[in-house]
Amino acid sequence: MRHALLFSVFVIASCGLAYELVAGALASYLLGDSVTQFSTVIGTYLFAMGVGSWLAKYISRDLVGSFIRIELLVGLLGGFSAIGLFVVFTWLAGPFQLVLYLTVFGVGVLVGLEIPLVMRILKRELAFRELVSQVLSFDYLGALVVSILFPLILAPQLGMVRTALLFGLLNVAVALWALHLFRDQLPNRNGLLAQSAAAFALLVAGFAGAGQLTTFAEAHLYADEIVHAETTPYQRIVVTRWHDDLRLFLNNNLQFSSHDEYRYHEALVHPGLASLPGAKRVLVLGGGDGLAVREILKYPQVELVTLVDLDPAMTRLFASAPALVALNQGALQSPRVTVVNADALQWLAESREHFDFVVIDFPDPSNFALGKLYTSAFYRLLEKRLSAHGRLVVQSTSPFYARQSFWCVVATLEAAGLRTAPYHVQVPSFGEWGYIIAGRQEFVSAAVDPEKTRFLTSETLPAMFSFPADMARVPAEVNQLNNQVLVRYFEDEWRRVIR
């Protein structure tokens, strides 16, 4: 019995941490700013566990029965937490954060009740010193196992909804196991058995219908038909379709619409690359959709394009799905293209290659994981990979909606020793959008071949480098790894736009 209960400690510790990780990851996906979300979720959860441990002293009778009921409650609340939060976000966006922290607090209180009850049940068989040592050892071991499995296997293979439901089932399994172990000591065994069976059935039904539940929630979140959706270790990828318009969303943020993405990608690639007639080696960082690569391949002098994108699911999708391959014109399958799935910062630190032109097409700096890719340290690494006359271009969010963020990127590039040429273009799906060309020499624009573009012309190009008064340069700090000021600018400015 002692070993069975200690193994139960391992399981319930695993479940408690899993619910915490699911809540933190889901909040990061939906709200951005992963550091803030995980910090506040973990803090709320630990505080709630303390409250639960304090409340445990008031449970003085029927310890085993109370333990079983708590397992059922935490299994149901934690198991259905992900789909519940997802539905609240998509249907009732306003109270999402309130529901998030109430859910985390509720799960934390229940988890905080579990360990004191197990210790009181075990105290008849173990000396106090051995009791505390063994219970806490199994508790921490369970947390370690889940912390490793969650990012490597559970989240990418099962997704957030099924992961939460799986651990809910484990909590109910612990309750059923306790019912078996203490079958002769429970006056209300049949009632507890019926409750456990009902909880188990609900969780199994939820697990079996998780796909339909997620689709139901996302159908309201996205106005158009969802044609592809998957959760990877790095992000939530959703592709929607309305008639002939395909749209890509990463973590609920629009990345492109096929109706006007050519404006964005032509503006990203052609002004810089057209000014480098001798460019043979091109590096693309981010841009796993292959749309920037499509534009680069229109230059016959380019011999090699290296695409570095963190998420293999992204590059795999855009190299295999027929509609998306048609959109990028098979760019990722070109013999001139080499795809590398790696963290761009680490890859740059290890690389010894040099490139004539670099396209930086990362998502906006909405969290610190992305913000590091807009820092002076990152740009200094990048400068070392430029050939003697090489240039780079950075997509730099909107100079209209996120004005200080845009000029922060300019200041950061300049702090890395690069000369900058900021410009902007109107993309209907995004509004006014900004880019920055940078290099060791001053940028001089060149004519754009009209055969290569649908939107950009040599006549319209000069106006892109002129900024009206409401987008003109404003003071901004340099974005560094130790302060990530850009993330703060970005969050503050876009929050005002959304309101």
Q: Which domain covers residue 228, as residue numbers?
A: 224-255
- Name the more confident of 3 and 120: 120
Whole-number pLDDT of residue 93 = 57
Token pair for 291 = 């749309």
Whole-number pLDDT of residue 225 = 87
181 band by pLDDT with thresholds 50, 70 and 90: confident
Instruction: Let me know whether 424 and 295 are in one domain.
Output: yes
* Domains of the chain: total: 3
Instruction: Let me know whether 233 and 278 are in one domain.
Output: no
pLDDT per residue as tens digits for the range 46-98: 999 999 999 998 988 888 899 899 999 999 999 999 988 888 887 765 688 88
Instruction: Let me know whether 44 and 174 are in one domain.
Output: yes
Instruction: Let me know whether 192 and 325 are in one domain.
Output: no
Instruction: Let me know whether 126 and 68 are in one domain.
Output: yes
CA angle 316–34–159, rounded 5-degree value: 45
Do residues 390 and 357 lie in contact, with contact meaning Cβ atoms separated by under 8 Å? yes
Instruction: Let me know whether 107 and 124 are in one domain.
Output: yes
Packed helices 210-221 and 155-181: angle between N→C axes, nearest 10 degrees: 130
**Where residue 176 sits, what CATH number does that domain have?**
1.20.1250
pLDDT per residue as tens digits for the range 242-272: 999 999 998 888 999 999 999 999 999 999 9
Do residues 400 and 471 lie in contact, with contact meaning Cβ atoms separated by under 8 Å? yes
Instruction: Let me know whether 229 and 212 are in one domain.
Output: no
Instruction: Give the chain's end-to-end CA distance (angstroms, integer).
Output: 57
Q: Pick from 165, 193, 218: which residue ends a domain?
A: 218
Instruction: Let me know whether 278 and 149 are in one domain.
Output: no
Instruction: Let me know whether 249 and 276 are in one domain.
Output: no
Distance (Å, whole) CA 493 – CA 409: 14
Instruction: Let me know whether 251 and 266 are in one domain.
Output: no
Instruction: Let me know whether 368 and 474 are in one domain.
Output: yes
Residue 176: closest CA among 202, 162, 194, 203: 194
Q: Pick from 255, 275, 304: which residue ends a domain?
A: 255
- Name the more confident of 119 and 332: 332
Percent of residues, the chain, with pLDDT higher than 70? 93
Instruction: Let me know whether 274 and 190 are in one domain.
Output: no
pLDDT per residue as tens digits for the range 465-492: 999 999 999 999 999 988 889 999 998 8
**Where residue 280 sits, what CATH number does that domain have?**
3.40.50.150
pLDDT per residue as tens digits for the range 361-409: 999 998 888 899 999 999 999 999 999 999 999 999 999 999 999 999 9
Catalytic machinery residues = 361
